[in-house]
Structure 1
Amino acid sequence: MIRLGTRASALATTQSGWVADRLREAHGVEVELVEISTEGDRSSAPLAQIGGTGVFVAAVREALLDGTVDLAVHSLKDLPTTPADGLTLAAVPQREDPRDVLIARDGLTLGELPRGARVGTGSPRRISQLNALGLGIEITGLRGNVDTRIRKVTSGDLDGIVLARAGLLRLGRADEATEILDPIQMLPAPGQGALACECRADDAATTALLAVLDDPDTRAAVTAERALLNTLEAGCSAPVGALADVVWGDDGDELWLRAVVGDLSGAPVIRRSAVGAPAEAAALGRRLAQEMLADGADQLMGSATPA
Structure 2
Amino acid sequence: MTEKALRPEKPLRLGTRRSKLAMAQSGQVADAVRELTGRPVELVEITTYGDTSREHLAQMGGTGVFVTALRDALLAGEVDFAVHSLKDLPTTQPDDLTLAAVPRREDPRDVLIARDGLTFEELPAGARVGTGSPRRMAQLNAYARSHGRTIETVPIRGNIDTRIGYVSGGELDAVVLAAAGLHRIGRIGEVTEFLSVDTVLPAPGQGALAVECAAVNVDLAAVLAELDDPYTRAAVTAERSLLAALEAGCSAPVGALADLLADGQVVNEMRLRGVVGTTDGSTLVQLSTTGPVPTSHGDAIALGRELASEMLAKGAAGLMGERAL
1: CA distance, partners of 2:268 / 2:104: 17
2: CA distance, partners of 1:81 / 1:126: 20
Q: For residue 249 of structure 1, report the CA deviation from its aligned partner.
A: 4.2
Correspondences of 1:81-96 after superposition (within 5 Å): 81-96=91-106
2: CA distance, partners of 1:256 / 1:60: 33
The residue that corresponds to 1:47 in the other structure is 57
Say if 1:256 and 1:274, in contact at 8 Å, map to a contact too.
yes
Are 2:184 and 1:170 equivalent residues in the alignment? Answer: yes
1: CA distance, partners of 2:94 / 2:51: 21
The residue that corresponds to 2:152 in the other structure is 138
The residue that corresponds to 1:200 in the other structure is 214
Say if 1:73 and 1:198, in contact at 8 Å, map to a contact too.
yes
- What letter matches 1:153 in structure 2? V
The residue that corresponds to 2:309 in the other structure is 290
**Selected match of 2:14 from 4, 26, 29:** 4
Are 2:132 and 1:122 equivalent residues in the alignment? Answer: yes
The residue that corresponds to 2:251 in the other structure is 237
Are 2:223 and 1:209 equivalent residues in the alignment? Answer: yes
Q: Equivalent pairs: percent with the same residue?
A: 63
The residue that corresponds to 2:233 in the other structure is 219
Say if 2:61 and 2:251, in contact at 8 Å, map to a contact too.
no
**2:158 aligned counterpart, secondary structure:** coil
Are 2:31 and 1:31 equivalent residues in the alignment? Answer: no
The residue that corresponds to 1:98 in the other structure is 108
Q: For residue 247 of structure 1, report the CA deviation from its aligned partner.
A: 2.0
2: CA distance, partners of 1:15 / 1:284: 29
Say if 2:107 and 2:207, in contact at 8 Å, map to a contact too.
yes
TM-score by length of 1: 0.98
2: CA distance, partners of 1:256 / 1:213: 24
Q: For residue 85 of structure 1, report the CA deviation from its aligned partner.
A: 3.0
The residue that corresponds to 2:282 in the other structure is 267
- What letter matches 2:218 in structure 1? A
Q: For residue 290 of structure 1, report the CA deviation from its aligned partner.
A: 0.6
Q: For residue 282 of structure 1, report the CA deviation from its aligned partner.
A: 1.0
Q: For residue 252 of structure 1, report the CA deviation from its aligned partner.
A: 4.6
Say if 1:3 and 1:70, in contact at 8 Å, map to a contact too.
yes
Are 2:66 and 1:56 equivalent residues in the alignment? Answer: yes
Are 2:82 and 1:72 equivalent residues in the alignment? Answer: yes
Are 2:192 and 1:182 equivalent residues in the alignment? Answer: no
- What letter matches 2:306 in structure 1? R
TM-score by length of 2: 0.92
Are 2:173 and 1:154 equivalent residues in the alignment? Answer: no
Are 2:319 and 1:300 equivalent residues in the alignment? Answer: yes
Structure 1 stretch displaced more, 106-115 or 202-211: 202-211
Q: CA deviation digits over 1:167-220, x for unaligned, max 9?
A: 000111101000000001000000000000000111111101101100000000
Say if 2:260 and 2:267, in contact at 8 Å, map to a contact too.
no
Say if 1:255 and 1:281, in contact at 8 Å, map to a contact too.
no
**1:4 aligned counterpart, secondary structure:** strand
Q: CA deviation digits over 1:239-264, x for unaligned, max 9?
A: 00000012224985211111101011
1: CA distance, partners of 2:221 / 2:291: 29
Say if 1:187 and 1:241, in contact at 8 Å, map to a contact too.
yes
| Moved segments of 4+, more than 3 Å | 249-252
**1:192 aligned counterpart, secondary structure:** coil
**1:275 aligned counterpart, secondary structure:** strand
